[in-house]
Chains A and B, each alone.
Chain A
């Protein structure tokens, strides 16, 4: 099955700095890579996703890059704000028997200091 590694486990930045979270995956058949944000005590919510036919995607201060050859993808947050503080999870989704099986990384706790 798929294996997703996520680094770092904790990331502390000053407000206004950039933050980068990196993930690697093992199965070259994976073709969908969502990123979720989970605030304390709340449900994970999608913030951005990328598919394997795209190398980069941007949405305001958030961007995701994908390198299929190296099997890694990254989340970039620019001009960080205190409300960006949360746990971020990457996931890789592969097709099995016609259905999509998402596997999550262990998460990165992002702390943005005012």
Chain B
């Protein structure tokens, strides 16, 4: 079974620039998560989708972060403009619909803002 795919793996940008991350969840998984993991901390949920609808985005800094999941499959997370404190690993995860089960994580995108 193919896992969660993310790209790019690494990205370095200057502050105030824009960046976008892409995620392709496991086939058939209705729930998709974007997490931000700052070095030395646990993953922090940014946004959760059920199919193409948003379940929770209470911790998403909406003034600069946006995410979409058109057609309920792939998802993109965008930061515009980036700040130094956005440097982190951005993890995408997915899980089956209606099941309180594990989240399967992608390899993540390591973002460095300089």
Contact = CB atoms under 8 A, between A and B. Distances in A.
Given A43-B108, A44-B91, A45-B105, A99 B50 contact: yes
Interface stretch (A57-65, A75-83, A102-110): A102-110
Contacts of A104: 35, 42-45
A99 B106 contact: no
Interface of A: 1, 4, 6, 31-32, 34, 42-46, 49, 51, 89, 93, 95-107
A106 B42 contact: yes
Given A99-B55, A104-B44, 9 more contacts: A42-B107, A43-B108, A44-B43, A44-B105, A49-B101, A89-B42, A93-B100, A100-B99, A103-B45
B37 to A, nearest CB: 9
B100 A31 contact: yes
Contacts of A45: 105
A97 B102 contact: no
A102 B47 CA distance: 11
